[in-house]
Amino acid sequence: MSAGAEKRVAGRGRGACGTEPAGVATPAGGERRSGRVDPASAGNGRAARSAVGEGRLRAAIRSGRFAVTAEIGPPRGADADAIRRKAAVLHGHVDAANITDNQGAHARLSSWAGSVLAMECGVEPVMQLTTRDRNRIALQSDLMSAAALGVPNVLLLSGDHPTFGDHPDATPVFDIDSVQLVWTARMMRDHGRLLSGQALRPPPQWLIGAVENPFAPPVGFRAKRLGKKVAAGAEFAQTQYVFDLDGFARWMVEVRDLGLDEHCAILPGVGPIRSVRALEYLGSKVPGIHVPDDVVRRMRAVPGDRVAEEGMRLCVELVQALAEMRGVAGVHVMAFGNEAAVPELVDRAGLPRRADAPVAAVVKEERA
């Protein structure tokens, strides 16, 4: 990693996340105020506040330190130790870990149960919540439940359609879309209101995240789509896998031109590839992932017993290149069951070990 990259990794000095462009219309047609969202002053001032103490991810974003998030996939079954084992591997190496929500439309342990188990092990969770399986009542209920349990971060998305999963005949809900869900969470937090207009006392506090895919068609619309989520309230955004650095750099130019990186921390998705077959599957079967031909040729050129090592080297190079890219606030590592690769990646990429500070704790305070 170059000296310039090391300086950016240590302290980026970027605009603080949680601010928003002046005069951006919300999905409800109103105007969002500009300036930093301050959890201590947002929402109904007369309500009792329930605030989640500043967690590692929020602190990293606020300070400009290069952030690292990873993923923990809950098990198919009530095996709490499966979460604990994965959390133990990630502890001290990431700022936070996504707890996926029935990923791939497969029935699994819930994301909020997994989030609580991760916190017990000292790993800060990013609780994923999809609109696929819940109407707006259930979504708001789960968001309130997450706050009550002390979950400091939420990642709000649509989710894979049931036809891709193990219950293809399940009825998809999609009562609201992901942009509307982000806006709902922001209204609950900053204004202490449900979609019904009823007051929340105390209003919850989380860091609000969204997802984006820079390479999905229509490519020219993807930055604008992220802009809708930022206007709705997204404070950080994780992307799909990045293998095409040139294509991602072009997307980041659009992101910067819209000023989105000043109001939302961009965490591009990366991951160590363990087989050529997996790489080819991602490039040909997963919508929106572009794997350049030179990357495929590079992986095919090494002996079979060296593919995993070459995949790790490729991932390290991607992380180091992304760390030098203006507007990138960190990386989101998707290792898919290979959690042991995350500490190795963090170390080999030259990223500092995460501070062993306690995860965010629930703090309650009464306001007059």
**Residue spans per domain, the chain:** 56-349
Q: How far is it, in rounded angstroms, from Cα 17 to Cα 168?
A: 39
- Decide: residue 70, CB within 10 A, 0-12 exposed, 13-18 middle, 19+ buried: buried
Which tops the pLDDT comparison, 292 or 49?
292
Q: How many helices (DSSP H) and strands (DSSP E) are in the chain?
A: 12, 10
Q: pLDDT by residue (tens digit) across 68-93?
A: 999 999 889 999 999 999 999 999 99
- pLDDT band at residue 3, thresholds of 50, 70 and 90? very low
Q: What is the mean pLDDT of the chain?
A: 84
Task: Report in angstroms the alpha-carbon separations of 85 from 53, 70, 305.
Answer: 25, 14, 27
Q: pLDDT by residue (tens digit) across 206-225?
A: 999 999 999 999 989 999 99
Mean predicted confidence (pLDDT) in 291-305: 95
CB-based contact 130:101 (threshold 8 Å): yes
Q: What is the pLDDT of residue 170?
A: 87
Q: Torsion-angle region of residue 344: left (phi > 0), alpha (psi -120 to 50) or beta?
A: alpha
pTM: 0.83
Q: How far is it, in rounded angstroms, from Cα 154 to Cα 158?
A: 13
CB-based contact 72:87 (threshold 8 Å): yes
Q: pLDDT by residue (tens digit) across 137-178?
A: 999 999 999 999 999 999 999 877 777 777 888 887 889 999
User: What's the CATH architecture for 56-349?
Assistant: Alpha-Beta Barrel (3.20)
Q: What is the pLDDT of residue 64?
A: 95
Q: How far is it, in rounded angstroms, from Cα 232 to Cα 59?
A: 22
Q: Of the ranges 2-11, 230-239, 340-349, which one carries the lowest mean pLDDT score?
A: 2-11
Hey, which bits of 100-255 come out as E strands?
125-130, 153-157, 207-212, 236-241
Q: How far is it, in rounded angstroms, from Cα 37 to Cα 207?
A: 10
